Amino acid sequence: MTDSKGNKKSESSNVDAVDLSTDAVAEIDLTSHDYYINRELSHLQFNYRVLKQAIDENHPLLNRMMFCCIFSSNLDEFFEIRVAGLKHQIKYGRETVGPDGLTPEQILAEIDTKTHEVVEEQYRILNEVLIPELQKQDIRFLRRSEWNDQQAEWVANYFESEILPVINPIGLDPSHPFPRLVNKSLNFIVELDGQDAFGRETGMAIVPAPRSLPRLVRFPDDVCNGGDNLVFLSSMIHEHADKLFPGMDVKGCYQFRLTRNADLVLAHDDMEDLASALRGELLSRRFGEAVRLEVADNCPEELVQFLLDEFSLSERELYKVEGPVNLTRMMNLEKLISRGDLLYPRFTPGLPKALNNKQDIFAAIRHKDILLLHPYQSFTPVVDLLRQAAKDPSVVAIKQTLYRTGADSELVAALVDAARRGKEVTAVIELRARFDEAENLELASRLQEAGVVVVYGVVGYKTHAKMILIVRREEGGFKRYVHLGTGNYHAGNARLYTDYSFMSADEALVKDVHKIFQQLTGMGKALKIKKLFHAPFTLHSKMLELIDREAQHASEGKSAYILIKINSLTDPKVMKALFKASQAGVKIDLIIRGICCLRPGIPGVSENIRVRSVIGRFLEHTRVYYFENAGRPVVYGSSADWMVRNLIHRVETCFPVEDKKLAERVKTELDYYLQDNCLSWTLQPEGDYILSQPAEGEERFSVQQKLLETLSAV
């Protein structure tokens, strides 16, 4: 079966058709579990779509390999945070049930089944597709049995000089209990026979692989017959494990990897200093409770059971894999070899005409609002804005929020420069940006040492808004300029993530941003904001109002349409509002990269809602909201996804794109996503996604390629 776009549709659904009569619609219970998808299972679906890119031959071969590794990285975080959270709920009797009605135990059972299937598929793709195709390109991962004499000698020398001095084998006996192993570290369990120098017969040892050593090493060309030849650290340790236990017989050496709970829990009630409390918690992240055990598939059952017992895990948390247990570290592959022909072609981000050859970026912003779409358009103007502000004697103050940036970024260097030049510089740093906490602590220290006023936002509410406010002394008084974004102030991410940057000198808008900074750095009642919507105060209610307004327009026979692009949709109230709008006849397109808990296409409930996810070269990250509004469209960019955490428990901003040409441009770019027929996946009512394919005779249309051609310089 296909829909009007030629997309395949499932022939069966576990959601029954619903009576469309007015009375029946009024009686539909929109809280029914049948209309919602579980958050964690939707998250797994997203990870699976990422893995599927590894077999898509439209991507270059090395990038396909990277998708396979990215899937591992995503799955690591899924276990560290989401699975760990479910297990924590069960352990402490704090089970919560979402709109889908599944209990934590039921969710874990589903995760168990689905994840084992997907991991098995991942290694099948690695071993049967990617490695053979790389070998055809003279890129080889040499097993021990494949080493020639020169290579074996080189490995022996490498082991002696690079591995042996830093490795630390640990025999297990009463005086050497099982060691505490760091989260996600590569380790080996070794079977031994014989007595050591002290007469001990332990029979078993643990060998942690030093984290400082690369997991993948390139053989020198002079010991190979052409091509790129690589060897795993695990192979070298396997080969020379006997050197770690001289005089003993190594009967077997098997790699394993433990994943632990890595979520941070800060008790706000008795916390006096957020930075100090966070530093303390970071130390415990490496040794949280075990949630998953990965082992080589040739590991004997008795050793597997020993490890499971040691970590208090069951068979459900065990993953036997045919290959390296730490595929994430293979992302370094493209740096070890020089094969640009197997990677995406390079491109030069473009610049809008408003910024071409403009030395004074403030003059350009005063002239008209500026909108950039990264990575197709350059992130450099954002950096230049801060650099120019730092050096401009007319600039008196700079304020900025920082979520994921990096202590060594050019933006941070500009803030440091501005502070040293005597300007008033304030940075609102979100220390709790997950997995960037340590880097943000370092960032805070660097800025404070330069004289920047550093605040950590509001305890209990992550500051996720992306804002820069610059105050400049000009003729007639102070003039303020703002930058608002949908993504992070990270130049590296700006080459990989799709995000909008918006720069303006609109008086009402800059006043709103100023008030939000006041709320973040000071104390007092919530201030009245004119143009921006901001969480946790008005954003949630305004989104509901805008959705309801479209429903009202549709019921009155006026034009009504909703087009939303976000990363995740989990908020129950928003989903119910979308259901009601669909029932009223509003056509709704949702472009949601990751988690979507709403079931589309249910007659009488969501038959007017389509959901698609786009996965490709760039990580889709823009958050954009479009409402038809009876022929008077309104467009917003935002830092917020439609999740409870964003709309209720974070500081977020949502800004209007009021310039007519810019708003029309955003709508055109969103329409490209609806035209895509090769990167987009359509969500079915039962929760599965189906990859869109060109219809017979139809040309391939890639939204990302179209935006590259439209906006980039090359």
Q: Is 215 annotated as a binding residue?
A: no
In 3D space, the residue among 332, 566, 284, 290 whose CA is nearest the CA of residue 437 turns out to be 284
Which of 59, 240, 374, 464 is catalytic? The answer is: 464
Q: Which stretch of DSSP H or E encloses residue 284?
A: helix 274-285
Q: Which residue has the tokens 């020379």?
A: 240
Q: How far apart are CA 180 and CA 534, in angstroms?
A: 44
Surface-to-core class of residue 327, CB atoms within 10 Å of its CB (0-12 exposed, 13-18 middle, 19+ buried): buried
Q: Is 621 annotated as a binding residue?
A: yes
One-letter identity of residue 117: E
Q: Is 404 annotated as a binding residue?
A: yes
Q: How far apart are CA 551 and CA 231, in angstroms?
A: 60
In 3D space, the residue among 381, 352, 370 whose CA is nearest the CA of residue 710 turns out to be 352
One-letter identity of residue 83: V
One-letter identity of residue 443: L
SS3 category, 57: coil
One-letter identity of residue 399: K
SS3 category, 223: helix
In 3D space, the residue among 443, 410, 450, 413 whose CA is nearest the CA of residue 428 turns out to be 443
One-letter identity of residue 19: D
Q: Read out DSSP for 279-303? A: HHHHHHHTT--EEEEEEETTS-HHH
Active site residue 238: no
Cβ contact 633:660 at 8 Å: no
Q: Which stretch of DSSP H or E encloses residue 412?
A: helix 410-420
Residue 336: Cβ within 10 Å count: 15
Given phi > 0 = left and psi -120 to 50 = alpha, else beta, which region is 227? left
φ/ψ (deg, to 5) at 539: -60, -45
Residue 26: Cβ within 10 Å count: 8
3 state SS for 111-178: HHHHHHHHHHHHHHHHHHHHHHHHHHCCEEECCHHHCCHHHHHHHHHHHHHHHCCCCCCEECECCECC
Q: Is 623 annotated as a binding residue?
A: no
Q: How far apart are CA 432 and CA 183, in angstroms?
A: 19
Length of the chain: 714
Q: Which string of b and e fits 414-444 if b means at least 16 CB within 10 Å? A: bbbbbbeeebebbbbbbbbbeebbebbbebb
3 state SS for 127-139: HHHHHHHHHHCCE
Q: Is 74 annotated as a binding residue?
A: yes
Q: Output the CA torsion 324→327→333→339 (10° steps).
A: 100
Q: Which residue has the tokens 């959705």?
A: 547
Cβ contact 687:672 at 8 Å: no
Q: Is 483 annotated as a binding residue?
A: no
SS3 category, 692: coil
SS3 category, 281: helix
In 3D space, the residue among 507, 488, 506 whose CA is nearest the CA of residue 498 turns out to be 488
One-letter identity of residue 464: H
Could you say which DSSP state residue 355 is in? Answer: G
Residue 193: Cβ within 10 Å count: 11
End-to-end CA separation in angstroms for the chain? 40
Binding residues for ATP: 74, 497, 593, 621
Binding residues: 74, 404, 434, 497, 593, 621
Binding residues for Mg(2+): 404, 434
Q: Please list the active-site residues.
A: 464
